[in-house]
Structure 1
Amino acid sequence: MKALCSLPQQGGWRGALFMVGMGCVAALALPPLCFIPALPVALGLFYRAVCVAPTWRRAALWGFLFGMGFHTAGLYWLTNAVLTRVHEFWWVVPFAAPGVALLIAPLIMVPALLCRLVPEGWPRMLLFAGSWTLADMARVFYFSGFPWNPLGSVLELPGRVGDVLIQPAALIGVDGLTFMVVLASLALWQGRGAVTSVCVCAGLWCGWGLWRLDHNIVRADHSNPAIVIVQGNVAEDDVLERDGAYAQFESYLQLTTKGVAEARAILPGHRPVVVWPESAFPGLLDEDEEARRLIAVAAAGAPVLLGSDRRAGKGRWYNSLIALAADGHIEAMYDKSRLVPFGEYEPWVLPFHLLPAVIVPGPGLKTWDLPLVGRVGPMVCYEIVFSGSVVARGQRPDWLLTISNDAWYGNSAGPRQHLATGRMRAVEEGLPVVFVNNRGISALYDARGRDVGHTRWGKEQLLIRPLPAAEGWTLFSIMGRSVPYMLALMASMVAIVEHYRRKWAE
């Protein structure tokens, strides 16, 4: 271990590679691997290297290189999106993940520099954890926002263990979990007393999580719909080129008929609500009356919520979620308002056009209140990623719905990381989340983040489940990101005040 700690002190290319490597190791803790032991090892070595760096410039460089390793490894799957148009952008393939990492890695320079303002000890750890969290939260302001892979998501282990660990998100959100995870990772390096304190706090954390999971559960009744998730498993090349568009549409119609019949058979008394994913309809649904009629016939009296493009003007398009009533008429429409940077939104830093079409953002979040569907918060794809920004202000729904098409990213960590954001939003907001994907993975989470059912990636499947009940308001659903913001800010202020108190006492 001493040999490892000495590498960054040497500087040069060995130290640089070491920092990049430690960032890559830290990424092993992210979903879907969730190898949590990797985080305290990598973060502890990074923190130590920053503390002993001979100059501020060296500390900043270590922060940048650690960020490059962490984000490049965590976002490696972005390369798959470029491969869908490799004949045009083959030269972008080596730069996809590193290019995005290059833009957000400088944020990790913030804790690397600020922590050096105070002496070593618990004040420095507090300042590091607080400034890391504040810098990470600032990613929502990058271009159209890119808050992907906060460190709090490392607690989303599969099954009940992960369910227990993420329950405090109902109080402090995923950014608050980030603060706690960073602080605990550093404390584990501070001797036996600190390790004991971390273990005690972890025990209390898990105890509260277990209590919350199993107490005061609101049971769903027959007034809740039966959600029929239709996963058509259409390859992204077919989506882009519209190859076999009719066969794709016909497949979704047949799956819908089958799903509605099964829902009525296995969940009598629950009215079925059918959900198709983003890119499911290969056309402009609001302009195609015959297609709407065929969907209504296939759904046999059940409402259908599905994704479709929509004209926003000459050469401009909305990415929309449309609600069809039982008779096929359009009851409601929602236009995606948060666009994916480099995927749907081209930042000014790009010297070329990567996107085949111009997508424009809609006016913002809304809540539908539909007779056979209930109060639902519709979202499209990327919007579920934004902690504290998934519910329209003053319009709390009974459930959240997001439709997506993660076929872009192949059978990689990308779709699974995306799915993890839906699980976290369920805990934060105290609302069930229905996550519907074209190629997988689709899932339904209850209001405490438990997996009620999911599909496999790359399979044509139906998933039929009764919609779980909503919980009461959580602290986070009331106060939003102000909770983790104040937590991180107060920790940073306490560290600075303690520094000056010690200085004045000398």
Structure 2
Amino acid sequence: MATSFPDPTGDRWDWFSDAAEKLGSRTGWSRRGLAVGLGVIAAAALPPIHAVPVLLVSFPCLIWLINGAPNWKRAFWDGWWFGLGHFTAGLYWIAHSLLVDLRFAWLIPFAVLCIPAVIGFYIGAVTALARLAPAGVSRTVVFAALWTCFEWLRGQLFTGFPWNSIGSVWAFSDIAMQLAAYVGILGLGLLTVFASASLATIAKRKPTVRWRQLIPFIASVVILFGVGGLRLTVGEPVQFEQNTHLRIVQPNIPQRLKWLRSRRDEHLQNYLDLSRGSSDRPITLLIWPETAVPFVMTRDAKYRKISATAAPENGLLLTGSVRTTDRNVKPFKIWNSLHAVSPRGEIVMTHDKFHLVPFGEYIPFSRFLKTHLGLEKITAGRTDFSPGPGPRTIKLMNIPSFSPLICYEVIFQDGIIGPGERPKWLLNITNDAWFGTSSGPFQHFAMARFRSVEQGLPLIRAANTGISAVIDPYGRVIRKLSLNTRGKIDSALPSPLRKKTLYSSVGDMPVLIIAITVIIALIWRRRRDDQP
């Protein structure tokens, strides 16, 4: 039997080229299944798994699919199938919220598949337009820039849903997160996609010097960890407010039990027991989570007085509560609110949530969906919540000014700080009991941490079932209570950084302008080169 030996003149890396061409030439359901699988694999990089190296497989393979697509239409569907797999795996936790009230369980297949199917069109647009760019490094650059632009659009259109921005994969690394102080989570995502997708160029046949194909990846890693490490090394040390000592309460009440009238007194006593007790330093601010009290704080004087007994002397209780108009006021309205309550039971401040959750707190296109399809919001009651006026900086006696963010308002990187005086800290109250023990609460927590990095402000988080935490202005967790844990956190309030971050001054616009400029320039170059 003859023995074959590898050709010494051949490139031992040619198997990458062969694999890329074979992958790109797939057709039918084999191609669609591959794209879905790559999207699912990419979702493993998201919190809480943080398997970031999987992006070094999923994004290069997606580029190879684009390269093998005969036209932009085929490339569009490659991206759409990728997006379907990616967002289904990343957003599966939505199903948990529909199991709290079993009347909505029938919606699970629609929510788990239809929402990713709609969001998948953003990824389809990315791959379709990337197909118009020259193959090679130029296509990789355009792909990353397009991903960034459409991720921004996803956070803006149809009320916005920027959940699971690709930059959030770095929430496990305090060092890698720091780049967001300059370019935001959007810019961090741009570098992440470019670095990962750039490895697709190793499939180029007979390059002059093979290792040069790794330069974009290596440079991106150096920038990511070099900038972050330098910022944490030479940045100003974190200080603490000497006269502000917090107590954060996490009662861990399951969502199915939360609004039972028969459990009202038990739930309130749970809060009171956790709120009272000694501390190393006198508590000046007590914080309860979103819709903490099982009654309408503004209308139930009896229970408000009982709640106020937990407020620290010469301090305040900050608590989430449903707020409504009086029953005889037409139209009847309801808000998701934050109240500041004095030890005497007086409400000294009210702030209403301004960015409501579609289908959770209101039904979009309600005249059609309610009337013709009979849809209801998944929270209790038939009345849609009303939005508040918007973000603002709140000043209360003896407490540094702060900006409140209720529930998923914290996932939006822009529009979290109102006009006027800049706050000294961010407050995020939430109730993630809706999502059970799933990836949802971890993803929510990761995005909250990025707001601290971007703004250079500490963030205090109070969550019903977790994750409650004290986060410093570098996004580092000082103290926290894990998911599904009952307890409290006592901590001094971290001070903000004295110097504003670059991102807090300029926002996303520089990254978007650069990305759009690159897209136009490289696609135009392809068009020019194709002309006879």
TMscore range, shorter length = over 0.9
How far off is 1:7 after superposition? Answer: 4.8
Q: Find the residue that maps to 1:305 and give its secondary structure.
A: strand
What is the TM-score of this pair, normalised by structure 2? 0.88
- Greater shift, 190-199 or 343-352, is seen at 343-352
Residue of structure 2 in register with 1:393 after alignment: 419
CA–CA separation in structure 1 for the residues paired with 2:27 and 2:241: 65
Q: Find the residue that maps to 2:349 and give its secondary structure.
A: strand
Task: Decide whether the 8 Å contact of 1:176 with 1:483 is kept in 2.
Answer: no
Q: Deviations over 1:189-244 (max 9, x none)?
A: 22321313422331233122112113232442453511211001111011243440
Amino acid at match of 2:285: V
CA–CA separation in structure 1 for the residues paired with 2:262 and 2:37: 42
Q: Deviations over 1:301-350 (max 9, x none)?
A: 13110100001564431000111134331121110010112211323385
Residue of structure 2 in register with 1:267 after alignment: 281
Gap regions ≥5 residues in structure 1: none
Q: Find the residue that maps to 1:223 and give its secondary structure.
A: strand
Task: Decide whether the 8 Å contact of 1:29 with 1:37 is kept in 2.
Answer: yes
1:338 to 351, 355, 358: 355
CA–CA separation in structure 2 for the residues paired with 1:75 and 1:67: 11
CA–CA separation in structure 1 for the residues paired with 2:242 and 2:266: 35
Q: Deviations over 1:75-101 (max 9, x none)?
A: 010000001112x12322222221211
Residue of structure 2 in register with 1:290 after alignment: 302
- Greater shift, 494-503 or 222-231, is seen at 494-503
| Higher Cα Rg, which structure | 2
- Greater shift, 284-293 or 36-45, is seen at 284-293
1:245 aligns with 2:236: no
Amino acid at match of 1:459: T
CA–CA separation in structure 2 for the residues paired with 1:369 and 1:178: 34
How far off is 1:390 after superposition? Answer: 1.1
CA–CA separation in structure 1 for the residues paired with 2:398 and 2:180: 31
Amino acid at match of 2:357: V
Residue of structure 1 in register with 2:92 after alignment: 76
Q: Find the residue that maps to 1:10 and give its secondary structure.
A: coil
CA–CA separation in structure 1 for the residues paired with 2:135 and 2:94: 38
CA–CA separation in structure 2 for the residues paired with 1:406 and 1:103: 24
2:374 to 336, 352, 360: 352
Residue of structure 2 in register with 1:422 after alignment: 448
* Residues 1:387 and 1:453: Cα distance change in structure 2 (over 3 Å): same
CA–CA separation in structure 2 for the residues paired with 1:212 and 1:149: 25
1:317 to 334, 339, 343: 334
Amino acid at match of 2:195: A
CA–CA separation in structure 1 for the residues paired with 2:109 and 2:524: 46
- Greater shift, 247-256 or 218-227, is seen at 218-227
CA–CA separation in structure 1 for the residues paired with 2:526 and 2:255: 55
Q: Find the residue that maps to 1:354 and give its secondary structure.
A: coil
2:429 to 397, 400, 403: 403
CA–CA separation in structure 1 for the residues paired with 2:241 and 2:154: 41
Task: Decide whether the 8 Å contact of 2:238 with 2:472 is kept in 1.
Answer: no
How far off is 1:22 after superposition? Answer: 0.9
2:175 to 164, 181, 187: 164
Amino acid at match of 2:133: V
Task: Decide whether the 8 Å contact of 1:365 with 1:392 is kept in 2.
Answer: yes
Residue of structure 2 in register with 1:304 after alignment: 317
How far off is 1:4 after superposition? Answer: 7.6
Q: Find the residue that maps to 1:285 and give its secondary structure.
A: coil
Task: Decide whether the 8 Å contact of 1:430 with 1:447 is kept in 2.
Answer: yes
CA–CA separation in structure 1 for the residues paired with 2:419 and 2:361: 25
Residue of structure 2 in register with 1:203 after alignment: 222
1:183 to 162, 174, 194: 194
Q: Find the residue that maps to 2:310 and give its secondary structure.
A: helix
Q: Deviations over 1:433-468 (max 9, x none)?
A: 111100111111100101111101111110111111
How far off is 1:277 after superposition? Answer: 0.3
Task: Decide whether the 8 Å contact of 1:229 with 1:464 is kept in 2.
Answer: yes
Residue of structure 1 in register with 2:48 after alignment: 32
1:49-64 matches, cutoff 5 A: 49-64=65-80
How far off is 1:119 after superposition? Answer: 1.6
CA–CA separation in structure 1 for the residues paired with 2:470 and 2:213: 39
CA–CA separation in structure 2 for the residues paired with 1:118 and 1:142: 26
1:64-103 matches, cutoff 5 A: 64-86=80-102, 88-103=103-118
Task: Decide whether the 8 Å contact of 2:20 with 2:64 is kept in 1.
Answer: no
- Greater shift, 493-502 or 20-29, is seen at 493-502
CA–CA separation in structure 1 for the residues paired with 2:21 and 2:97: 37
1:173 to 175, 181, 184: 184
- Greater shift, 163-172 or 308-317, is seen at 308-317
Task: Decide whether the 8 Å contact of 1:24 with 1:73 is kept in 2.
Answer: yes
- Greater shift, 238-247 or 355-364, is seen at 238-247
CA–CA separation in structure 1 for the residues paired with 2:85 and 2:159: 23
CA–CA separation in structure 2 for the residues paired with 1:279 and 1:335: 12
- Greater shift, 112-121 or 225-234, is seen at 112-121
CA–CA separation in structure 2 for the residues paired with 1:368 and 1:148: 26
1:9-48 matches, cutoff 5 A: 9-48=25-64
How far off is 1:402 after superposition? Answer: 0.9
Task: Decide whether the 8 Å contact of 1:39 with 1:185 is kept in 2.
Answer: yes
Residue of structure 2 in register with 1:413 after alignment: 439
Amino acid at match of 2:182: L
Task: Decide whether the 8 Å contact of 1:319 with 1:336 is kept in 2.
Answer: yes
CA–CA separation in structure 2 for the residues paired with 1:89 and 1:425: 33
How far off is 1:291 after superposition? Answer: 2.5
Cα RMSD between the aligned structures?
2.0
* Residues 1:281 and 1:216: Cα distance change in structure 2 (over 3 Å): same
- Greater shift, 353-362 or 40-49, is seen at 353-362
CA–CA separation in structure 2 for the residues paired with 1:221 and 1:438: 25
CA–CA separation in structure 2 for the residues paired with 1:146 and 1:461: 31
CA–CA separation in structure 1 for the residues paired with 2:389 and 2:97: 27
1:111-126 matches, cutoff 5 A: 111-126=126-141
Q: Deviations over 1:133-175 (max 9, x none)?
A: 1111111233221111111111111xxxx11001110111111
CA–CA separation in structure 2 for the residues paired with 1:52 and 1:133: 23
